[in-house]
Structure 1
């Protein structure tokens, strides 16, 4: 039976240009360029640090798997909070029908206040007429 790590190990070996069994930030940059992407040295170092569980500044196969599987929960949390702030806009710590209407208009899908109220009510678990961050997170998970 083939190891569940086999594909990740093969991918890691392709990226591991110096043959040490680990990926450095510079090797990660190089791989991104080959794949047609762009990643600065600072971005690569931040990625490596975000999943480097043993603190050696390199990615072993387990850490590489974490990176490939999504880069960690911290990055996902940060991106979700950034999206929430875009919709929140009023500084109230929640998404109101008015702030939702404004953001949807900016995105080219205008809705009236009543439609925004209905959209919010579908995910408003506590019935306060607005979306908290946790309610927004659940909505975005669908």
Structure 2
């Protein structure tokens, strides 16, 4: 099943009255179904922020935007967690030593010199370490 088809299926489940649009009330009911609580005013703000031009209702394109923004938030959280595993405590960066330590934990033995070479491939500012932004670019490459 394609991502678009998945979204259509989910959209249709949320669109209780079948009018091709999700009202703030329908969206609120859906959020409740996944064990979360939002006030109707909060849901209306979400619908409005997605550029609702359909009388305060969320069309399919806006729904896809909402779903994809959630996917991006989850990806960023996963990246931050992964970065935290590799970073040297207190410096908010990945050093050759911290990379060596993490690779060893993963069963991959590398020398500090090899880790320097690995870091240099993605070290955009030449400071010898990877910031989160450089790590993100490396992971998305």
Shift in alpha-carbon separation, 1:13–1:126, aligned structure 2, 3 A: closer
Match of 2:16 among 15, 18, 23: 18
Q: Which has the larger radius of gyration?
A: 2
> In 2, are the aligned partners of 1:97 and 1:130 still within 8 Å (CA)?
yes
Deviation for aligned residue 1:60:
4.3
Task: Give the TM-score, by structure 1 length.
Answer: 0.63
**CA distance in 2 between partners of 1:99 and 1:93 (Å):** 11
> 1:52 matched to which residue of 2?
46
Please provide the CA RMSD for this pair. 3.6
- Confirm or deny: 8 A CA contact 1:13 1:19 kept in the other structure: no
Distance 2:67 2:116 in 1: 38
Match of 2:53 in 1: none
Q: TM-score, normalised by structure 2?
A: 0.63
Are the aligned partners of 1:17 and 1:27 in contact in 2 as well (CA < 8 Å)?
no
| Number of residues of Structure 1 aligned to a counterpart in Structure 2 | 123
Residues 19/89 of structure 1: CA separation in 2 closer, same or farther (3 Å cut): farther
Alpha-carbon distance between aligned partners in 2 of 1:140 and 1:69, rounded to the nearest angstrom: 19
**For structure 2, which runs of at least 5 residues remain unmatched after alignment?**
50-56
> Which residue of 1 is the match for residue 119 of structure 2?
120
Structure 1 unaligned blocks of 5 or more: 1-5, 31-39
- Secondary structure in 1 matching 2:48: coil
